[in-house]
């Protein structure tokens, strides 16, 4: 993770693997108290993802201040949230539990370490409730052949009452879907290859864009949230599940 006031080449590595997907799409009509869980057995999916991630304020680019997270200082085999509680937490605040993903040295974009998310792991990066400014949340990801992936950005994290800004699904057939503002857009991606993903969140102008493999996939009014009915101009967390 990089939090800084300029574009940086020093991005962090985040690797994700999951054996199940309970994320609810807006297009799936299941009764639930939130967009958090979907427990239909026929909707369970398998995922393998590896990420190189950065979070960059796009203003004051010359200042060069920021936070860099590359997982290299952590112990492989130990939980991320137990090692970095100031930045990472789980959905139910369960550092050290089954929700807490482990740092791994089995695969990385560069260096030695990445983050492995599997099974019940459900991790979030605290973006500290930004209400102004322009930000880029960027990463490289790799989805293994026949697997799927997910990430989402939240306007406001509050457990089952959270407000989603966008959800992005990478399906097992090399196709994916971005869902936000009550609509969706499809895209193609290459499995077993590293691809860049860029999320531009402009809170000052209430606008958001997602680029996958350097191509603009979707842009929307950020405050509309996932369903299109929100009015919240805020960026609070990044979720991998």
The pLDDT-based confidence of 212 (bands split at 50, 70, 90) is very high
Highest mean pLDDT among 9-13, 63-67, 154-158, 170-174: 154-158
Mean pLDDT of 211-233: 97
Q: How do residues 65-94 score in pLDDT, each as one tens digit?
A: 445 667 888 999 999 999 999 999 999 999
**pLDDT at residue 217, rounded to an integer:** 98
Contact criterion met (CB below 8 Å) for 106 and 116: yes
- String of DSSP letters for 93-121: S-TTSTTSPEEESS--SSSS-EEE--TT-
Contact criterion met (CB below 8 Å) for 221 and 180: no
b/e for 48-67, b at 16 or more Cβ within 10 A? Answer: bbbbbbbbbbeeeeeeeebe
3-state secondary structure of 88: strand
Q: d(Cα 128, Cα 194) in Å, to the nearest integer?
A: 28
Q: d(Cα 36, Cα 234) in Å, to the nearest integer?
A: 19
Residue 213 has pLDDT above 80, yes or no: yes
**pLDDT at residue 227, rounded to an integer:** 96
Whole-prediction pTM: 0.79
**pLDDT at residue 56, rounded to an integer:** 57
**pLDDT at residue 181, rounded to an integer:** 98
Contact criterion met (CB below 8 Å) for 134 and 200: yes
């Amino acid at each position: 993770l990089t939090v800084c006031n300029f574009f940086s080449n020093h991005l962090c590595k985040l690797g994700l693997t999951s054996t199940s997907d309970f994320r609810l799409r807006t297009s799936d009509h299941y009764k639930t108290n939130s967009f958090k869980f979907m427990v239909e057995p026929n909707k369970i999916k398998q995922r393998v993802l590896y990420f190189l991630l950065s979070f960059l304020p796009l203003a004051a680019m010359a200042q060069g201040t920021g936070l860099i997270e590359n997982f290299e200082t952590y112990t492989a085999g130990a939980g991320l949230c137990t090692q970095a509680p100031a930045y990472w937490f789980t959905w139910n605040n369960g550092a050290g539990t089954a929700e807490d993903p482990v740092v791994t040295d089995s695969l990385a974009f560069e260096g030695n370490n990445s983050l492995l998310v599997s099974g019940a792991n459900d991790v979030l990066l605290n973006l500290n409730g930004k209400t102004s400014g322009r930000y880029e949340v960027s990463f490289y990801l790799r989805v293994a052949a026949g697997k799927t992936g997910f990430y989402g950005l939240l306007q406001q994290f509050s457990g089952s009452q959270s407000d989603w800004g966008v959800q992005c699904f990478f399906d097992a057939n090399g196709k994916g879907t971005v869902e936000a503002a009550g609509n969706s857009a499809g895209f193609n991606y290459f499995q077993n290859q590293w691809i860049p993903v860029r999320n531009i969140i402009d809170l000052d102008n209430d606008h958001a864009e997602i680029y996958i493999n350097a191509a603009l996939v979707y842009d929307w009014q950020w405050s509309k949230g996932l369903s299109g009915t929100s009015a919240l101009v805020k960026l609070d967390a990044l979720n991998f599940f």
